[in-house]
């Protein structure tokens, strides 16, 4: 029988330098990668763990994303709050956590979410990025056409 400690390490090993996004709402790890613009062509080593047991999150499940050799800055990670409001970001240097931050929902988000209104000017060929005001957590209002998104924000991620 494999000891518990070893089992955990097999699943996601510690990283030497980089960022660990922990406590992501289960099922949203891939959306987090999308928000961070991490695609199949990214050079960084990325580990994704899904549906790991969690004492803190609802249903006892969470996702974790580890990105090696890249330290995320607040402006990039705050967008994550849209889909994973309880996420925490740990910055790792030489296997040590040197910084631990929660995500803070910004007042305005630009070029993260597409406006569901196809006739909105932000969905045209004009040189303009989509822009939403964050009214409450999970309620967004388009800066241009004032369309409201109040459910399934992940479906509109750019």
Q: Which of 145, 154, 156, 157 binds other proteins (CB under 8 A)?
A: 145
Q: Which of 41, 125, 136, 151 binds other proteins (CB under 8 A)?
A: 125
Do the beta carbons of residue 63 and residue 49 sit within 8 Å?
Answer: yes
Rounded Cα gap, residues 132 and 141, in angstroms: 5
Determine if 128 is a binding residue for other proteins (CB under 8 A): yes
For the bound state, the minimum distance from the C-beta of residue 128 to other proteins, rounded and expressed in Å, comes to 5
Determine if 132 is a binding residue for other proteins (CB under 8 A): no
- Tokens coding 88: 């925490």
- 37 CB-near residues (< 8 Å, 6+ apart): none
Binding piece for other proteins, criterion CB under 8 A, among 27-35, 86-94, 103-111, 119-127 = 119-127
Determine if 142 is a binding residue for other proteins (CB under 8 A): yes
Q: Which of 14, 41, 107, 119 binds other proteins (CB under 8 A)?
A: 119
For the bound state, the minimum distance from the C-beta of residue 38 to other proteins, rounded and expressed in Å, comes to 30
Q: Which of 86, 117, 134, 157 binds other proteins (CB under 8 A)?
A: 117
Rounded Cα gap, residues 86 and 58, in angstroms: 11
Determine if 104 is a binding residue for other proteins (CB under 8 A): no
Q: Which of 70, 82, 122, 153 binds other proteins (CB under 8 A)?
A: 122
CA distances to 34, 56, 110, 136, 146 from 62, rounded to whole Å, are 17, 9, 27, 23, 33
Do the beta carbons of residue 101 and residue 77 sit within 8 Å?
Answer: yes
For the bound state, the minimum distance from the C-beta of residue 147 to other proteins, rounded and expressed in Å, comes to 8
Degrees (nearest 5) of the Cα angle 90, 112, 114?
150
Kind plus residue range of the DSSP H or E element containing 89: strand 88-93
| Interface residues toward other proteins, by CB under 8 A | 117, 119-122, 124-128, 142-148, 150
């Amino acid at each position: 029988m494999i000891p518990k400690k070893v089992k955990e390490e097999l699943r996601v090993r510690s990283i030497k330098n980089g960022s660990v996004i922990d406590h992501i709402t289960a099922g949203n790890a891939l959306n987090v990668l999308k928000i961070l613009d991490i695609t199949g062509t990214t050079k960084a080593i990325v580990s994704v763990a899904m549906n790991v047991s969690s004492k803190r999150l609802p249903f006892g499940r969470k996702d974790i994303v580890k990105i090696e050799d890249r330290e995320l800055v607040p402006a990039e990670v705050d967008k994550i709050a849209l889909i994973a409001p309880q996420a925490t970001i740990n910055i790792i240097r030489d296997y040590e956590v040197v910084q631990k931050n929660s995500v803070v929902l910004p007042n305005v988000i630009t070029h993260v979410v597409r406006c569901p209104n196809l006739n909105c000017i932000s969905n045209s060929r004009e040189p303009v990025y989509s822009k939403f005001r964050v009214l409450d957590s999970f309620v967004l209002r388009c800066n241009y056409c004032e369309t409201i998104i109040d459910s399934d924000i992940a479906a509109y991620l750019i």
